[in-house]
Amino acid sequence: MRATFSTSDSPPAAKKHFWQRAVSKTYFPLDLKFQSAGDFEGTLDAWTMGSIAVSRNCCDGLLYRRHERHLLNEREESFLITVPEVAEIRFVQDGKEVHCRPGQFLIERSHLPYEFSHRNRAALWVLKIPSDVLRARIPRPERLATLQFDASRGVGGLFVDMLRMTAARLDEMEEAERALMGRHLVDLLAMAIEADQRVLVGRSSSVRNAHLHRADHFIGAHLSDVRLTPQSIAKGCGISLRYLHQLFEAEGTTVCAHIRTQRLLMCEAALKDPYCRKAISDIAYDRGFGDQAQFSRNYRAHFGCTPSEVRAAARQSMANSC
């Protein structure tokens, strides 16, 4: 469904306050500082696509700030994929300042303070993705925050083209179709990110990160295989078992823990999908768990609730929205 906000519906004295509430409702709580002391104009359209949301934001210049106090009551982390179409944007987070212009897209984290601004009137597409959904598709997505990606060609261009085309048709789609399109957009985003060599750059050497990225990719491609082991990963990536363990130890985890976490995240995404009709046992087996009891124990230990509780909550939420 679509939510539309426009300052043209507000009296001049109330426009800035109206925009503050519209932005906070669409994304999350933020402080705003307007470029102009006078009038302000903006329009904001937002659509839900299952657990994912997309919005079109067109407004005069301003500065958005997310502070520590905004995070106190925030439980679920999200990532924002911002695509500027008109005007360059400035983004500051975790001590890094970047400028993103039309033809690029930028990744932002909701669970860290930041500043986001544009001096002139801007038009933006913003894709809001829950952390668990993105982590099920891209391991450690926090390393991508503040990186800009090419949206002018290749898979990055295809992702942005599909984002625009999908938004133009969302009003014609049923809820299940919108949720499916949201998942397709996340898949395209993951492909665009994996195609960019800079995702190999991190705190350690580029060679080490290249091996880690290759291992991540191999694991993601074989998660459904119950025979996936550190030995098979090392062999598939052409590295020693000892070196594979060292790669993940440097990231503060183990190979087996990473495999288990990725499987749990994929299961959670399926359980939260109210249109997924598979039995919980089938969801677990499809993601590489060989034993349902073991899956349920691991799921509860990781998420603090049972798979059936998550599925019931997702279906109740859908029923309440109808």
Is the domain of 219 the same as that of 194?
A: no
Is the domain of 173 the same as that of 293?
A: no
Strands of the chain, DSSP E: 2-6, 31-34, 42-49, 52-59, 62-66, 78-86, 89-93, 96-100, 104-109, 114-118, 122-130, 148-150
- At residue 139, the pLDDT reads 82
pLDDT tens-digit profile of 155-197? 999 999 999 999 999 999 998 899 999 999 999 999 898 877 6
Domain count across the chain:
2
| Dihedral (CA of 307, 312, 313, 317) sign | positive
User: How far apart are alpha carbons 299 and 258 in whole angstroms?
Assistant: 14
Give the pLDDT band (50/70/90) at residue 248: very high
Q: What one-letter code names the amino acid at 192?
A: A
Q: Domain range holding 293?
A: 206-321
Q: In what order do the strands lie in the sheet with 89-93?
A: 31-34, 62-66, 114-118, 89-93, 96-100
Mean pLDDT for 250-274 is 91
Give the pLDDT band (50/70/90) at residue 101: very high
Convert 269-290 to b/e letters by CB count within 10 Å (16 or more is b). bbbbbbebeeebeebbbebbbe
Is the domain of 268 the same as that of 251?
A: yes
Mean pLDDT for 227-240 is 94
172 three-state secondary structure: helix
Is the domain of 294 the same as that of 177?
A: no
For residues 98 and 146, the answer to whether their CB atoms sit within 8 Å is yes
- At residue 205, the pLDDT reads 52
Q: Classify strands 42-49 and 2-6 as parallel, antiparallel or unpaired.
A: antiparallel
Is the domain of 263 the same as that of 152?
A: no
Mean pLDDT for 268-279 is 88
* Domain termination residue (choose one: 142, 166, 200): 200
Give the pLDDT band (50/70/90) at residue 198: low
Helix%, strand%, coil% for the chain, nearest 5:
50, 20, 30
pTM (2 d.p.): 0.78
* Domain termination residue (choose one: 200, 223, 247): 200
Is the domain of 290 the same as that of 255?
A: yes
Mean pLDDT for 119-148 is 90
Query: The domain that contains 233 carries what CATH number?
Result: 1.10.10.60
**Which of 61, 62, 100 lies closest to 82 in space, CA to CA?**
100
Question: Both tokens of residue 291?
Answer: 């034993």
* Domain termination residue (choose one: 183, 200, 217): 200
Q: What one-letter code names the amino acid at 123?
A: A
Is the domain of 238 the same as that of 171?
A: no
Is the domain of 76 the same as that of 99?
A: yes
Is the domain of 132 the same as that of 249?
A: no
Is the domain of 171 the same as that of 219?
A: no
| Dihedral (CA of 288, 291, 292, 298) sign | negative
User: How far apart are alpha carbons 310 and 321 in whole angstroms?
Assistant: 17
Is the domain of 196 the same as that of 215?
A: no
Contacting residues for 314 by C-beta, under 8 A, at least 6 apart? 271, 272, 273, 274
pLDDT tens-digit profile of 44-81? 999 999 899 999 999 999 999 999 999 988 888 999 99
Query: The domain that contains 100 carries what CATH number?
Result: 2.60.120.10
Is the domain of 273 the same as that of 125?
A: no
- At residue 204, the pLDDT reads 46
